[in-house]
């Protein structure tokens, strides 16, 4: 079975009928690369908690974050759903690698949309090509879902610098990033400021261990009278919170894609195992109850994939995509948990063991229902549309 699935290929063909052959060839070859180069280390990365820098560099060399950006920024100028299809493939191979890339991609998106030409030249080119790595700093100890409650503060001082004080919590790529896209309170509301990692007064906390995505780096960030030039303000002072919301809408499509990839990996392992394992003189795959579960897994994955690629199409066409992104994230992330749960169940006792390497997918999927806005916050946003 090719790593790039038939279902992905059919959707891409129908989204882009005129370029179907070209895009499918590209994605098939990206899938082959991911299967050969990324998949084999995924288990060790999880077991040993290794930051997947090597994987990320290999993927950057293939061209990945630069897929949807214009060529004058060293982008590939391809449609956004192609990036999302690649994200699904990386998620299927190694979710720790995919989450680190997804967060990096969210920063690239924000810098592209809200940064100026100088920032594009100075920072964005290096980021989309993977020469530099980014982190997204929004969450604080008392400001998660309620991000407006942040207390990190930035003041423009008389020397033309933003002076930042405060701390952030649960930041992916922390300690590994070159640039931090930091949100802070200012005299005009909120601002987004780019902080380079070598800035004096800036530090990160210790590594936070977690149930899944064990290769990704998670730490807090501390700002103790950190001074960055006023030119590092992204967009307008006062608009920072709006930028965060818009970046998260885009990020949610990547989280949905990653979840579809995780679920696809669990499904494929389950199909293989159920054709091998015997009970009562039959293969598990011959039991109707097993088949019904597999049918539900396939149907849910297909549904989530359609929602995700559709949200990506809207984003790429610069149409409103916020609600569709939240719906895709809500459905795909909860779906991935259901699919991984079936996968463990069909693997029986073996599924519960480390040896089977099936519960890794459930552990990885769980974060997807929390990060970049919890499932409950997705419900708040989506239902808000119904009652506006
Ligand atoms: C592995 C990992 C990686 C992360 N990476 C990043 C990162 O790179 N950058 C970053 O800024 N943050 C990051 N985060 C933080 C993440 O975005 C937050 O954890 C998440 O938004 C939830 O916030 P919280 O943990 O404070 O939960 P809380 O906001 O305290 O929520 C607790 C519970 O209450 C529910 N709840 C809250 N408000 C409502 C409401 N209005 N209605 C109904 N239910 C509600 C929530 O859904 C949740 O179930 C990461 C977190 C983890 C675990």
pLDDT at 28: 98
pLDDT at 36: 98
Q: Which CATH superfamily is domain 134-240 in?
A: Butyryl-CoA Dehydrogenase, subunit A, domain 2 (2.40.110.10)
- Cα–Cα distance, 87 to 80 (Å, whole number): 11
Q: Which CATH superfamily is domain 6-128 in?
A: Acyl-CoA dehydrogenase/oxidase, N-terminal domain (1.10.540.10)
pLDDT at 210: 96
Task: Read off the pLDDT of each residue in 132-147 and give the average, rounded to a whole number.
Answer: 98
Ligand 1 centroid to Cα of residue 132, in Å, is 27
pLDDT at 135: 98
Mean pLDDT value across the chain: 97
The residue among 281, 337, 308, 244 whose CA lies nearest residue 12 is: 308
pLDDT at 13: 98
Task: Read off the pLDDT of each residue in 250-267 and give the average, rounded to a whole number.
Answer: 98
Task: Read off the pLDDT of each residue in 110-115 and give the average, rounded to a whole number.
Answer: 98
pLDDT at 193: 98
Ligand 1 centroid to Cα of residue 255, in Å, is 14
Q: Is the pLDDT of residue 1 over 90?
A: no
Is pTM beyond 0.95 here?
A: yes
Residue nearest to atom 30 of ligand 1 (CA): 144
Task: Read off the pLDDT of each residue in 155-171 and give the average, rounded to a whole number.
Answer: 97
- Cα–Cα distance, 185 to 103 (Å, whole number): 22
**Which of 145, 168, 215, 244 has most ligand 1 atoms within 8 Å of CB, for mutation?**
145
Instruction: List, by residue number, the catalytic residues.
Output: 372
Query: What are the extents of the domains in the chain?
Result: 6-128, 134-240, 242-386
- Cα–Cα distance, 302 to 298 (Å, whole number): 6
Q: Is the pLDDT of residue 105 over 90?
A: yes
Helices (H) and strands (E) in the chain, counts: 14, 10
Rounded to an integer, what is the distance from CA 110 to the centroid of its chain? Answer: 14
| CATH architecture of residue range(s) 242-386 | Up-down Bundle (1.20)
State residue 222 phi and psi, 5-degree precision: -120, 135
């Amino acid at each position: 079975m090719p790593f790039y699935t038939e279902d992905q290929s059919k959707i891409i063909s129908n989204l882009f009928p005129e370029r179907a052959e070209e895009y499918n060839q590209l994605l098939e070859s990206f899938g082959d690369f991911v299967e050969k180069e990324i998949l084999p280390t995924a288990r060790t990365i999880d077991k040993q908690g290794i930051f997947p820098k090597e994987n990320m560099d290999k993927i950057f060399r293939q061209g990945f974050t630069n897929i949807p950006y214009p060529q004058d920024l060293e982008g590939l100028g391809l449609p956004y759903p192609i990036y999302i299809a690649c994200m699904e493939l990386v998620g299927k191979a190694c979710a720790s690698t995919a989450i680190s890339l997804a967060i990096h991609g969210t920063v690239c998106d924000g810098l592209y949309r809200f940064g100026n030409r100088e920032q594009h030249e100075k920072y964005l080119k290096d980021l989309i090509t993977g020469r530099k790595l980014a982190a997204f700093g929004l969450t604080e100890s008392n400001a998660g879902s309620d991000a407006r409650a942040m207390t990190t503060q930035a003041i423009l001082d008389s020397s033309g610098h933003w002076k930042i004080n405060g701390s952030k919590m649960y930041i992916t790529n922390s300690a590994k990033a070159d640039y931090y896209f930091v949100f802070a309170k200012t005299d005009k509301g909120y601002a987004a400021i780019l902080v380079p990692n070598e800035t004096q007064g800036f530090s990160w906390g210790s590594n936070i261990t977690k149930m899944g995505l064990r290769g990704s780096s998670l730490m807090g960030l501390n700002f103790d009278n950190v001074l960055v030039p006023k030119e590092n303000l992204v967009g307008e002072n006062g608009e920072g919170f709006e930028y965060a919301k818009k970046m998260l809408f885009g990020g949610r499509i990547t989280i949905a894609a990653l979840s579809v990839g995780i679920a696809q990996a669990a499904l494929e392992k389950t199909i293989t195992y159920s054709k091998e394992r015997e009970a009562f003189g039959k293969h598990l795959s011959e039991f109707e109850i097993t088949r019904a579960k597999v049918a539900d897994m396939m149907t849910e994955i297909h549904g989530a994939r359609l929602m995700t690629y559709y949200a990506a199409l809207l984003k790429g066409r610069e149409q409103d995509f916020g609600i569709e992104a939240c719906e895709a994230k809500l459905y795909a992330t909860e779906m991935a948990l259901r699919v991984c749960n079936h996968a463990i169940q069909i693997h029986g006792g073996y599924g519960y063991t480390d040896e089977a390497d099936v519960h890794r997918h459930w552990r990885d999927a769980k974060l997807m229902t929390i990060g970049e806005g919890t499932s409950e916050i997705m419900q708040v946003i989506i239902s808000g549309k119904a009652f506006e």
